[in-house]
């Protein structure tokens, strides 16, 4: 019988909450090193231009300027997952972010002043700002570093996937719906702006980077490639990270630039982004156009989906280009589906390039899919809740793509939100003249046990207990604010019976910690948790053996509680720290230490993208109620009902934090957030006009965790981090459509877009309209 859990499942506050709220946390911005210089980057004035000349003479004369570099001064490799991104741009600019020169100076102010003194002559080109234009024969080649692999010179990446017999499925469809959906650019807007501090030691030729990366070991490798160094000569230390959300998965040019400035000067250099720079030069959620055709048979079973996606890749390729990995999972496997054909193409343009962003393409896919499900339900005259329940995924299902749903809470999630939200009543409720209410449903499927997109999706842990009974967890995975340190400490407290205050998590230094692929794909609690549990098991074997020796007993079963090791049979006990001291200081002098490497059971997908890519899968459903002010077009989100298959609740407080934060990001994606661009330039690089929601916009959130106890997960848990945001925009759009009886195929649903739709529908209904369009 399973042991009763004492710590796991309880609302333990985030262990670093106190230092954060008292301002004692050391972020990248707080780091100062002796003799440190301040770096600043000159970016192009034009998103597409020939760089004719760069004159540094005036800038170099400015007192306090120590070093200025351009592409001509450095011997480096390109960065980016396709190695198509030069760190400093030479000869031409292709994107508003393009780094032309970088300065290191004694103060931030001098560095900024120096930028103003650099004179660059540009020959402005027309530029290509629409992915369709980039595909035309007449279009010039935008990125010169990749060529020949695809039929068109401006294609950066393509994905093709299919399962089932599409033609037959089409024939068996009673109704088919086709729609084109357009998704906006959204930015992470992390609370801490981008920052890096590089310190190159000219004596031993080693580089130390204080970096907010989410993937320190991949960062080490990519940085080494860029700088032509050996990876292990680069030590990466992660200060406290003020927001990741996927934005720190790629390395970005400012990071090797900072290293180069340090290498040139032999002094530490720090680069901090201003908020405006953060908006302009950090990654975004991929904008894309999704063409979706889907069918349903006369009983309401989904028959097929055919998807064509055109992604605006921007000028360079980041991890963002690979989001179809995740997108195709939702299209192929969310709800039971007989046949699917999927194509995605990422096309170079002179726009800003994307990165990865919580959900990794899935919010886009889910918006399109769940909108079309509503339309299909309307077509066959079926209730929108019923059609979803009928097609919901099930435990034991192996999908067309080869995903194994060993546990699956999809149906339960749907049933929960339908019931708790009173969906069936609300969806047909009578309407007020001005304020119209609506309710919408949406589900999501996401990896819940890591994602094997790199050769290893594993994580290493080294665990030690010191002679005073304190425990140190050295984990390969790190904290970016999500609370994984706390969850790991809770697991150790649970298993070792050590007080939480006596547990430390060390996870910020690549010279110390073992391999981990990084913080992404909602994987940390799952993968790092399993890794820690593996190490604990080994260490407990050692400790139990010693305890048994010290007790002079043959007992091998022990409970670990309140700092004691207690024999299950005799109830004799011995203090844990005493056992450790005996291990250390008496012969044969052994350390109370253990290491474990956990590699999830998932498989690297074959070249047709088939295979069980994750250790487990998370499901969630949301029912969202909105009220639309038909006078202003404002959509107010009233209540959000969320049911999420989390496997097992490890910590309700932290889980609630992930749910609330994710939902708010989802509401922003649905209603307000959009990075506006015109001819390659960002029009709203500030919080004033980039409409991130605030505390006063938070709706009532009703969260119902669904526990399916997945045997792969630590204590049965699945990844939870990305899921809450994924179906939110879809459910809100469905709710707004329900309220108004009009259709939306574009996000965000800004007041203006909504009012325009209302006014068009009035015109179509021959209503009197005062202001002509």
C-beta of residue 278 within 8 angstroms of C-beta of residue 675:
no
Q: Environment class of residue 704 by beta-carbon count within 10 Å: exposed (0-12), middle (13-18) or buried (19+)?
A: middle
Regarding 632 and contact with another protein (CB under 8 A), the answer is yes
Judged by CB under 8 A, the stretch of 7-15, 281-289, 392-400, 626-634 that binds another protein is 626-634
Q: Return the residues of window 168-187 that contact another protein according to CB under 8 A.
A: none
**Least distance to another protein from the beta carbon of 697, Å?**
5
Judged by CB under 8 A, the stretch of 140-148, 220-228, 466-474, 744-752 that binds another protein is 744-752
Number of neighbouring beta carbons within 10 Å of residue 555: 15
**Least distance to another protein from the beta carbon of 116, Å?**
11
DSSP 541: H
Longest dimension (CA), the chain: 94
Judged by CB under 8 A, the stretch of 135-143, 342-350, 686-694, 699-707 that binds another protein is 686-694
Regarding 755 and contact with another protein (CB under 8 A), the answer is yes
174, 701, 751, 761: residue in contact with another protein (rule CB under 8 A): 751
Regarding 699 and contact with another protein (CB under 8 A), the answer is no
Regarding 688 and contact with another protein (CB under 8 A), the answer is yes
Residue 109 vs 386, nearer CB to another protein: 109
Beta sheet of 269-272, edge-to-edge order: 65-70, 99-105, 37-43, 269-272, 195-201, 206-211, 234-237
Regarding 691 and contact with another protein (CB under 8 A), the answer is yes
What whole-number distance in Å separates Cα of residue 580 and Cα of residue 464? 10
**Least distance to another protein from the beta carbon of 189, Å?**
13
Judged by CB under 8 A, the stretch of 130-138, 207-215, 414-422, 749-757 that binds another protein is 749-757
Residue 23 vs 34, nearer CB to another protein: 23
**Least distance to another protein from the beta carbon of 687, Å?**
7
Which residues make beta-bridge pairs with 50?
92, 123
Q: Return the residues of window 429-488 that contact another protein according to CB under 8 A.
A: 434
DSSP 242: S
Number of neighbouring beta carbons within 10 Å of residue 512: 12
Judged by CB under 8 A, the stretch of 355-363, 367-375, 601-609, 690-698 that binds another protein is 690-698
Helix residue ranges per DSSP H, 421-523: 423-426, 484-496
220, 345, 672, 708: residue in contact with another protein (rule CB under 8 A): 672
Regarding 350 and contact with another protein (CB under 8 A), the answer is no
C-beta of residue 684 within 8 angstroms of C-beta of residue 748:
no
398, 512, 683, 763: residue in contact with another protein (rule CB under 8 A): 683
Beta sheet of 558-561, edge-to-edge order: 558-561, 564-567, 573-575
Peptide linkage before 748 cis (omega within 30 of 0): yes
Find all residues with CB under 8 Å of 489, minimum gap 6, and list them.
15, 473, 500, 503, 505
Structure tokens at 622: 């949301």
138, 554, 696, 766: residue in contact with another protein (rule CB under 8 A): 696
Structure tokens at 202: 């000219």
Regarding 764 and contact with another protein (CB under 8 A), the answer is no
432, 511, 557, 752: residue in contact with another protein (rule CB under 8 A): 752
**Least distance to another protein from the beta carbon of 756, Å?**
8
**How would you label 10-21 residue by residue, b for 16+ Cβ within 10 Å and e otherwise?**
eebebbbeeeee
What whole-number distance in Å separates Cα of residue 410 and Cα of residue 503? 36
CA-based nearest residue to 305, from 278, 332, 277, 286: 332
Regarding 687 and contact with another protein (CB under 8 A), the answer is yes
**Least distance to another protein from the beta carbon of 634, Å?**
7
Residue 343 vs 684, nearer CB to another protein: 684
**Least distance to another protein from the beta carbon of 752, Å?**
5
* Number of residues near another protein (by CB under 8 A): 28
Regarding 771 and contact with another protein (CB under 8 A), the answer is yes
What whole-number distance in Å separates Cα of residue 79 and Cα of residue 124? 25
Number of neighbouring beta carbons within 10 Å of residue 247: 25
Regarding 64 and contact with another protein (CB under 8 A), the answer is no
Find all residues with CB under 8 Å of 428, minimum gap 6, and list them.
none
Residue 693 vs 745, nearer CB to another protein: 693
77, 343, 472, 684: residue in contact with another protein (rule CB under 8 A): 684
Regarding 107 and contact with another protein (CB under 8 A), the answer is no
Peptide linkage before 377 cis (omega within 30 of 0): no
Question: Which residues contact another protein (rule: CB under 8 A)?
Answer: 434, 631-634, 671-672, 676, 683-684, 687-689, 691, 693-697, 750-752, 755-756, 759, 770-771, 773
């Amino acid at each position: 019988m399973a042991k009763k859990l004492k710590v796991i499942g309880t609302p333990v506050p985030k262990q670093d909450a106190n230092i954060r709220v008292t301002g004692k946390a050391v972020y990248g911005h707080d780091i100062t090193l002796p003799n440190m210089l301040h770096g600043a980057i000159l970016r192009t004035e034009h998103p597409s231009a020939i760089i004719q000349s760069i004159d540094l003479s005036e800038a170099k004369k400015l007192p306090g300027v120590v070093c200025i570099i351009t592409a001509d001064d450095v011997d480096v490799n390109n960065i980016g997952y396709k190695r198509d991104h030069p760190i400093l741009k030479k000869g031409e600019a292709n994107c508003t972010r393009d780094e032309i020169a970088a300065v290191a100076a004694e103060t931030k102010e001098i560095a900024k002043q120096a930028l103003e003194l650099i004179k660059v002559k540009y020959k402005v080109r027309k530029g290509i700002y629409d992915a369709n234009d980039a595909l035309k024969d007449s279009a010039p080649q935008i990125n010169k570093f990749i060529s020949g692999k695809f039929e068109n010179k401006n294609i950066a990446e393509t994905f093709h996937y299919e399962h089932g017999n599409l033609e037959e499925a089409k024939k068996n469809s009673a109704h088919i719906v086709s729609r084109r959906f357009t998704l906006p650019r959204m930015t992470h807007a992390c609370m801490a702006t981008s920052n890096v501090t590089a310190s190159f030691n000219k004596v031993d030729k080693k580089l130390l980077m204080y970096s907010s990366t989410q993937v320190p070991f991949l960062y080490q490798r990519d940085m080494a490639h860029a700088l032509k160094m050996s990876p292990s000569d680069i030590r990466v230390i992660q200060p406290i990270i003020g927001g990741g959300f996927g934005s720190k998965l790629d390395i970005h040019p400012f990071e090797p630039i900072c290293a180069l400035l340090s290498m040139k000067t032999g002094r530490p250099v720090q680069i901090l982004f201003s908020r405006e720079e953060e908006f302009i030069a950090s990654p975004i959620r991929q904008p894309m156009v999704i063409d979706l055709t889907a069918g349903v048979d006369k009983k309401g079973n989904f028959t097929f989906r055919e998807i064509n996606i055109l992604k605006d890749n921007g000028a360079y390729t980041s991890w963002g280009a690979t989001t179809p990995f995740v997108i195709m999972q939702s299209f192929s496997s969310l709800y039971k589906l007989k046949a699917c054909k999927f194509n995605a193409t990422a096309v170079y343009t002179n726009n800003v390039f994307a990165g990865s962003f919580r959900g990794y393409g899935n919010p886009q896919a889910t918006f399109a899919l769940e909108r079309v499900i509503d339309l299909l339900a309307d077509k066959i005259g079926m209730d929108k809740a019923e059609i979803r329940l009928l097609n919901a995924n099930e435990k034991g299902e192996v999908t067309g793509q080869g995903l194994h749903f060993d546990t699956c809470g999809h149906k339960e999630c749907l049933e929960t939100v339908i019931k708790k939200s009173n969906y069936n009543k609300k969806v047909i409720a009578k309407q007020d003249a001005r304020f119209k209410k609506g309710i919408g449903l949406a589900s999501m499927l996401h990896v819940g046990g890591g994602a094997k997109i790199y050769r290893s999706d594993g994580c290493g842990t080294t665990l030690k207990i010191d002679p005073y009974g304190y425990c140190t967890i050295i984990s390969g995975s790190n904290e970016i604010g999500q609370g994984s340190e706390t969850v790991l400490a809770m697991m150790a407290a649970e298993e070792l019976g050590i007080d939480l205050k006596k547990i430390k998590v060390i996870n910020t230094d690549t010279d110390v910690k073992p391999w981990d692929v990084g913080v992404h794909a909602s994987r940390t609690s799952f993968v790092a948790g399993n890794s820690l549990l593996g190490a604990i098991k080994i260490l407990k074997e050692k400790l139990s053996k010693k305890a048994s020796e010290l007790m002079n007993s043959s007992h091998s079963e022990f409970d670990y509680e309140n700092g004691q090791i207690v024999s299950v049979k005799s109830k004799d006990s011995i203090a844990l720290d005493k056992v450790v001291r005996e291990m250390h200081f008496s012969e044969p002098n052994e350390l109370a230490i253990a290491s474990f490497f956990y590699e999830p059971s998932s498989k690297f997908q074959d070249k047709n993208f088939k295979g069980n890519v994750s250790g487990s899968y998370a499901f969630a459903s949301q029912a969202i109620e909105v009220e639309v002010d038909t006078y202003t077009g404002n959509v107010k989100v009233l209540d959000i009902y969320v049911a999420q298959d989390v496997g097992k609740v490890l910590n309700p407080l932290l889980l609630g934090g992930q749910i609330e934060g994710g939902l708010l990001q989802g509401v922003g994606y649905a209603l307000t957030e959009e990075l506006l661009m015109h001819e390659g330039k960002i029009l709203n690089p500030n919080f004033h006009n980039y409409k991130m929601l605030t505390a006063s916009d938070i709706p009532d959130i009703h969260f119902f965790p669904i526990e399916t106890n997945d045997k792969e997960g630590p204590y049965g848990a699945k990844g939870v981090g990305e899921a809450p945001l994924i179906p939110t925009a879809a459910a809100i759009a469905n709710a707004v459509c329900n309220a108004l009886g009009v259709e939306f195929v574009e996000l965000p649903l800004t007041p203006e877009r909504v009012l325009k739709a209302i006014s068009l529908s009035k015109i179509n209904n021959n209503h009197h309209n005062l202001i002509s369009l």
